[in-house]
Chains A and B, each alone.
Chain A
C-alpha cells in the first residue's frame, strides 16, 4: 500500500519532494540526491518531462528509486502518450510496486525543448484519473477488456494552481479531479500564505474533501524569483521576498561569500513549511527544489518536520 496514503490517511503531516530524471542515461546524480531523502520524506515525485523538456522517462527513475528503497510517485501527463501508452506504463509501474501516481495534463511541447513533437492529449488529467479509477473498479483496460489478474490498487493524486483568475475554473476542475479519483492534491508553489488561505477557503466552500499538500519552491536567488514571476503561470513571489534575496546577494558580494541568497531561500522555505504545519493549514507539503534536492533535508530540519 502507498506509503503516502498511509501517512495522509493516518492524519500525519505528509512530506513529498520532487525530482527530474536526467537528460541522459546516467541516473547516478538523482540516486545520490535520493539517498539523502530516504526516511525524510514519504515519497518522491518523479516528473514526466516537466516543462515539456526531454528527459529519461518518469517510470525509469521511479524503478531506480523503488529499488533503492524510496517511495516514488509516478507523474503521468497526457502530452506524450495516448490512453494505451499511459495504462501500459501504469501496469509496468505496478509490477515494480509503484502504486502512487500523480495525473497531469502536461505542458505543451511548443513551450519545451523538442517543439516539433506532436502533442497527444488523448486524455487530460481528469481523463487519466477516470480511466485509472475505472480500471480499478472493473479490472478492465481502457477498451473494456479484462486484465489478466487483479487490477493494481493505486493511490492517485492531481495538482492544482491556487493562484488563478478566475479561481472558479480551478476549483471546478479540482472538483472534477477529486470526483474522478484523485485522493491527494499537490499545489503549484505557494509564496503567499494569505492567498493560499483564501484558496483553501474556496475549496472548503465548494465542499471538496481531499488531502491538500502545499507546493513549496525554495528560492535560490532574486533572479530566479523574478524569472518565475515572469514565466511560470500561477507563481507570484512577493516583492518583499525578492528584495530580501537581492539584499542577501549584495551582502554576499561585499563579503566575497557565495550562496547567501540560496541559504536565505532555505530559511524562507523552512519558515513557510513550519507555518503551514503549525497552523494546520493543510495536510502536508510538496517540496520542488528544482535541481537542489540536496537542500531538502536541511529545509525539513529547520522546519522541524519529519516524515513520521
Chain B
C-alpha cells in the first residue's frame, strides 16, 4: 500500500490561491485506508473549503486514482462542473494521473510517504523501496534496503545498540531482525552467501514496465 499523510490545510489553501470553484477527487484504495482520501475526508475537506469562501462544485471517488482508464471516467464529470482547479486526495501517482486527464490545475492534499504495510489500525511502516531487484528470498522476507537506514546489503554496520539503529533508536536494526528470522527458519547459511552487487544501472528514473514489449 502507498502510505499518505494529509498536508497541513494551510499549505493546501496556499496552493488553491484565488481559485473559487473547486472539485475534489478521492481515492478508493490506499488513501481511503490511510484516512487521507476516502468519503469522510472528502466531506471534511468540502466543509472546510466552503467555510473558507470556496465553492465545491463536484466530488468523486475513483476506485484507484492510479489507473488511467478509471480516472478518465471520473474526471470527466468533474470537469463538466467547470472547476477552477481540482484537489486530488490520493498519492503522488494519483495526482499525476488525474492531472493528465484534466485541463485545470490539480493540487495534492496529501504528502506521499512510502510503500508499506498497515501494522495495526492507524499505524503504517515502510517496507519496500521498489529497488527493482528483490533480495527478500535471501533475507528471510525482511528487506534490508527499506529497513536498514543505510540500505546495507552485506550485513549490519557496527552502529546498533541493544538491537536498535543508531540513526533512529526507535527502529530495530534490520540485520538483527534478518538474523533472528533466518535463525528461526533454519536458514542462517543464507547470510554466508555473497551477494553480487546489483548496481544502479536499472534504477534510472522513470522506469517503465510493459507487457506490450515497449513503452506505449
Task: Using CB atoms and an 8 Å cutoff, list the residues of chain A in contact with chain B.
Answer: 105, 107-108, 110-111, 119, 121-127, 130-131, 159-161, 164-166, 168-170, 172-173, 175-176, 179, 188, 233-234
Contact = CB atoms under 8 A, between A and B. Distances in A.
**Chain B binding surface, main DSSP class:** loop
B155 interface: yes
Contacts of B166: 107-108, 111, 233
A121 B152 contact: yes
Q: Which of B157, B179, B197 has the most CB of A within 10 A?
A: B157
A68 B104 CA distance: 67
15 contacts: A107-B166, A108-B166, A110-B149, A111-B166, A119-B149, A127-B153, A159-B158, A168-B188, A169-B156, A170-B158, A172-B155, A173-B155, A173-B156, A175-B192, A233-B160
Given A110-B167, A111-B166, A172 B197 contact: no
A161 B158 contact: yes
Interface string B148-192: 011111111111110100111000000110010000000010011
Contacts of A173: 154-156
B152 A105 contact: yes
A172 B159 contact: no
Interface of B: 149-161, 163, 166-168, 175-176, 179, 188, 191-192, 194, 197, 200
Contacts of A165: 163
Contacts of B150: 105, 108, 119, 121, 124
A130 B197 contact: yes
Q: Which of B160, B167, B191, B197 has the most CB of A within 10 A?
A: B197
Contacts of B168: 110
Nearest to A78: B150
Nearest to B201: A143
B152 A124 contact: yes
B202 to A, nearest CB: 14
Contact of A124 (B157, B188, B192, B200): B157
Given A108-B149, A233-B159, 13 more contacts: A105-B152, A110-B168, A111-B159, A111-B166, A124-B150, A131-B197, A159-B158, A166-B179, A169-B175, A172-B155, A173-B156, A175-B192, A176-B194
A111 B167 contact: yes
A259 to B, nearest CB: 31
Nearest to A129: B154
A105 B144 CA distance: 15
B192 A188 contact: no
A164 B158 contact: yes
B197 A123 contact: yes
Nearest to B168: A110
Which of B158, B159, B167, B168 neighbours the largest number of chain A CB atoms within 10 Å of its CB?
B158
B158 A176 contact: no
Nearest to A164: B158
A267 B150 CA distance: 38
B188 A166 contact: no
Contacts of A119: 149-150
B38 to A, nearest CB: 34
B154 A124 contact: yes
A24 to B, nearest CB: 27
Contacts of A175: 192
A123 B161 CA distance: 23
A173 B191 CA distance: 9
A122 B131 CA distance: 13
Contacts of B160: 233
B167 to A, nearest CB: 5
Contacts of B154: 124-127, 173, 176
Contacts of A179: 194
Contacts of A130: 197
B97 to A, nearest CB: 28
A188 B157 CA distance: 12
A176 B155 contact: yes
Nearest to A173: B155
Contacts of A131: 197
Nearest to B156: A169
Given A111-B166, A127-B197, A130-B197, A172 B158 contact: no
Contacts of B192: 172, 175
Contacts of B179: 166, 168-169
